[in-house]
Amino acid sequence: MLSLDGTLVVQLINFVVFLAILNVIFFKPVGAAIARRRAYIDGLKHDIEQLQTDAKALRGQADERRVAARRDADEAVARGRVEAGKEADVIAAGAQERAMGIVADAHAKVADELNAARADEPRIVAALADELLGRALGGVA
């Protein structure tokens, strides 16, 4: 039985040596590679979470800037409309003054023509009366 026990002891020692060799050659390097890979993945997860947080913050800033830009644009449009309205009023007032000047000139011209016609009226009436008298006398004679 001793030989069986000796074989068993030798097999156990052989197994322990085999496990020690496997540990040095395979388990430790694979474990270290797995740990490095896990650390890399954890780092990537952390980076992704940080980037997502940064992206949310940037979206918030972009929304704030967009709202501010929209507000500024609306204010600029309102100011532009007010200025355009003022300018239109100035232009309309100038056009109205010119129109009133044209109307006044037309009234003056018509008044001058009317006065000229009235001034020439006695001569026309005398000529017409002479013409009618001439026809009346010429027709009787």
pLDDT digits (tens, 9 = 90+) for 99-121: 999 999 999 999 898 888 888 88
DSSP three-state, residue 7:
helix
If you compute the radius of gyration of the chain from its CA atoms, what whole number of angstroms results? 58
pLDDT recorded at residue 52: 96
- Which pLDDT score, from 0 to 100, does residue 4 have? 64
DSSP track, 18-76: HHHHHIIIIIHHHHHHHHHHHHHHHHHHHHHHHHHHHHHHHHHHHHHHHHHHHHHHHHH
Residues of the chain with pLDDT under 70: 1-4, 139-141
The pLDDT of residue 83 is 94
Q: What is the pTM of this model?
A: 0.46
Using CA atoms, how far residue 56 sits from 30, 35, 43, 62, in Å, is: 38, 31, 20, 10
Query: For position 45, what pLDDT does the model report?
Result: 96
